[in-house]
Amino acid sequence: MLTSLQQYILNLIEWLQGLPGGPWAGLGAPFLEAIFPFLPLVLIISANAATYGFWLGTLLSWVGSLLGTILVFAAVRYVFRKPMTRWLERHKQGVYWLERINHMSPVSLGFLYSLPFIPVSLITYLLALIQMPLRTFIMAAGFGKLLVVLIFSVIGDQWEEFIQSPFRLSMLVLLLFVLWVISRGLEELLKRRAFRKRNEQLKRELEAKRQTTL
């Protein structure tokens, strides 16, 4: 299994190195991932660091991913807002997430963007629909993406050591598990908070109706 994983990473690095444009290809890969979220961002970040070194790979991954996310945000907010609103009305999952993030601070949103198991593409759509100020969005997304890029750039820069060392590999698996637990726990916390705010709002509306009928 480790041999096949090592060969897969080598193939990915060779593919990046073989793309025309040099570092521009390293910038373009995370940019495309922000537009097409089914692409493996973690592997792209790690491969960039392994191909271009830690500092340049980190910069390329962060700038590319952030630019792609800003483009998606602007496209949804200024071009596709009406069809995205209709899409949102048909999907309960989107409505739930809208209620969860509607009252979050930029710091909390940045933390969401730093977790690889949170659907950040959906969060980007929703933040565009609620017309979050562009400057606030860039600060939140930029902070969160910088954290996740730094973590996986370290892994990508030293990927051979991680694969060859059982201890480092087990620590990597543990890190991914911890991030997954934090993601699920935060999602559940936001869900409960959204339901609590919804119940409070319903109580206020019922109280207002009682007062108007008296």
Taking only the tens place, the pLDDT of each residue in 150-174 is 888 887 777 666 666 666 667 666 7
- Which region among 10-24, 57-71, 152-166, 188-202 has the lowest average model confidence (pLDDT)? 188-202
Amino acid at site 201: Q
Q: What percent of the chain has pLDDT over 90?
A: 9
Reduced DSSP (H G I as helix, E B as strand, rest coil) percent helix, strand, coil of the chain, to 5:
85, 0, 15
- Which region among 41-45, 83-87, 118-122, 167-171 has the lowest average model confidence (pLDDT)? 167-171
Per the CB < 8 A criterion, the answer to whether 143 and 110 are in contact is: yes
pLDDT of residue 100 exceeding 80, the answer is no
Return d(Cα 141, Cα 118) in angstroms, integer.
Answer: 13
pLDDT of residue 107: 73
- For 196, residues 6+ apart whose C-beta sits below 8 A from its C-beta are none
pLDDT of residue 64 exceeding 90, the answer is yes
pLDDT of residue 32 exceeding 80, the answer is yes
Return d(Cα 172, Cα 158) in angstroms, integer.
Answer: 12
| Alpha helix (H) residue ranges in the chain | 2-18, 23-35, 41-52, 54-78, 81-90, 92-101, 106-113, 120-129, 134-157, 159-164, 166-213
pLDDT of residue 37 exceeding 80, the answer is yes
pLDDT of residue 147 exceeding 90, the answer is no
Q: What is the mean pLDDT of residues 13-35?
A: 79
pLDDT of residue 75 exceeding 80, the answer is yes
Per the CB < 8 A criterion, the answer to whether 51 and 10 are in contact is: no
pLDDT of residue 176 exceeding 80, the answer is no
Return d(Cα 140, Cα 150) in angstroms, integer.
Answer: 16
pLDDT of residue 63: 95
pLDDT of residue 118: 72
pLDDT of residue 93 exceeding 70, the answer is no
Per the CB < 8 A criterion, the answer to whether 93 and 187 are in contact is: no
What tens digit of pLDDT does each residue of 120-144 get? 888 888 888 888 888 888 988 998 8
Return d(Cα 15, Cα 29) in angstroms, integer.
Answer: 11
As given in the structure block, the two tokens for residue 174 are 């543990």
Return d(Cα 20, Cα 149) in angstroms, integer.
Answer: 23
